[in-house]
Amino acid sequence: MDRAIGSARTFWQRVTDGVEISELWTQFQAEARTSYGLYSREVDWDAVEKSKTWQRPFRAAGALFWAMLMKLSPARRLLLLFAMVAIVLDLLPSSERSPETGIHFPSLAIFALFLLLALELADRVTMKRDLEIAREIQRWLVPDKPPEVPGYDIAFLSRPANTVAGDYYDTIPRGVARNAATKDSKLLLVVADVAGKSVPAALLMATFQASLRAIEASGTALAELVRNLNFYVCENSRNGLRFVTAFFAELEPATGRISYTSAGHHPAFIRRAKGAVEELGEGGLPLGIEFEETFPLGEASLGSGELMLIYTDGLVEAVNAKGEEFGKERVTNLLFPCDAQVSAAEALGHVTRALDNFVGAERQHDDITCMVVRRLAG
């Protein structure tokens, strides 16, 4: 008996990955809401509402089933319909079935559904493997660790909503030596967000990175660099459908002086030594909207012990189960206690832990990228 209980417990642990039942239920609810949202977008709810009251549940159920059916390939649609027909035939009174057939309809239905599940899982595993390869390539396009800049502490984090992301971040040394540790060097800080998610956004992110690196290598000044980058994105934006928001900041480590511009991106925050939080909002439209858009530069500085946070909208627009957004106000409140004694990584961890507690088990709907730059006190 004890052996059987032990085997059952091992089986349960393997199936659930050790996750508690309450968390499993929360995950199920989140996944069910996501799936419902996927299929309900295909339903003509106006037509459902126009039907008679008693017909609406049946119309809605039929429309949702049809939306689910059309997500399958034609062959798999037939397999699912075959399974459902077998189930219906088994439910018929025995007098209405032909006793000579000798067909066991439940077995046929189970076999068809199991085969359908196996085919869908095979596709998912293949796609996941390809996406993991794409994700690994994408990691090569962004820095794997912060640059070492004397007098500064830098940390960054990126969480894709799916396997691959449309967010981008980079730290690029500028100047003749192209070394952020030299006396007269500058450091270009970039955080960008491609419209959309998953594979299409990831592909555009890769071309954005290549274009930025090519333009930057020519030694172009920051304002001209952003304008040239905008020309490229406009040519590949499909009439503005694939635009990019981005925040560019050029830091002079020796003085803490910052030249920056925002291309339709959320303003960066600077947490001053006395605790006040300022926004850096100077800039223009997102890249890829208008060929002739200009991007005026703003000026700021990082003093001793001060901190700058650059982020994508996935941070402030993250929602919990109640549909509430995390919001800019929460982020600024989280920066107040991040004084000079708190490292860049610790400040970033402080923000992300608060985000995780706020969101709970709710599915992440957008990519989240953050970069923290701290000027060390001294």
Which residue, 160, 155, 159, is CA-closest to 145?
A: 155
Q: How many helices and strands (H and E) does the chain possess?
A: 11, 11
Residues 37 and 170 in one domain: no
Give phi and psi for 28, each to the nearest 5.
-60, -45
Residue 7 falls inside a structural domain: no
Average pLDDT of span 91-101: 59
Residue 99 falls inside a structural domain: no
Half-sphere exposure of 54 (CA within 13 A, CB side): 0
Residues 184 and 80 in one domain: no
Residues 184 and 46 in one domain: no
Residues 370 and 317 in one domain: yes
The contacts of residue 131 (CB under 8 Å, 6+ apart) are 162, 163, 164, 199
Residues 18 and 131 in one domain: yes
**Which of the four pLDDT bands, split at 50, 70 and 90, describes residue 185?**
confident
Task: Report the alpha-carbon angle 248-208-137, nearest 5.
Answer: 115
Residue 8 falls inside a structural domain: no
Residues 111 and 169 in one domain: no
Q: What percent of the chain has pLDDT over 90?
A: 37
Residue 1 falls inside a structural domain: no
Residues 150 and 41 in one domain: no
Q: Are 230 and 263 in contact (CB under 8 A)?
A: yes
Mean pLDDT estimate for the chain: 84
Residues 78 and 169 in one domain: no
Strand arrangement, sheet containing 277-280 = 152-159, 368-375, 307-311, 268-271, 277-280
Where would I find the beta strands (DSSP E) of 119-185?
152-159, 167-174
The pLDDT tens digits of the residues spanning 286-340 come to 999 988 898 999 999 999 999 999 999 999 999 988 889 999 999 999 999 998 8
Residue 314: other Cβ atoms inside 10 A: 25
Residue 328 falls inside a structural domain: yes
The contacts of residue 37 (CB under 8 Å, 6+ apart) are none
How many structural domains is the chain composed of? 2
The pLDDT tens digits of the residues spanning 194-229 come to 887 767 777 788 888 888 999 998 888 999 999 999
The contacts of residue 75 (CB under 8 Å, 6+ apart) are none
Q: Say whether pLDDT at 239 is over 90.
A: no
Residues 173 and 249 in one domain: yes
Domain containing residue 334:
146-375
Residues 109 and 182 in one domain: no
Residue 200 falls inside a structural domain: yes
Q: Are 284 and 265 in contact (CB under 8 A)?
A: no
Q: Say whether pLDDT at 99 is over 60.
A: no
pLDDT at 296: 94
Residue 118: other Cβ atoms inside 10 A: 10
Residues 21 and 75 in one domain: yes
The contacts of residue 341 (CB under 8 Å, 6+ apart) are none
Residue 322 falls inside a structural domain: yes
Assessment of whether the complete model's pTM goes beyond 0.75: no
Residue 171 falls inside a structural domain: yes
CATH value at residue 364: 3.60.40.10
Residues 58 and 203 in one domain: no
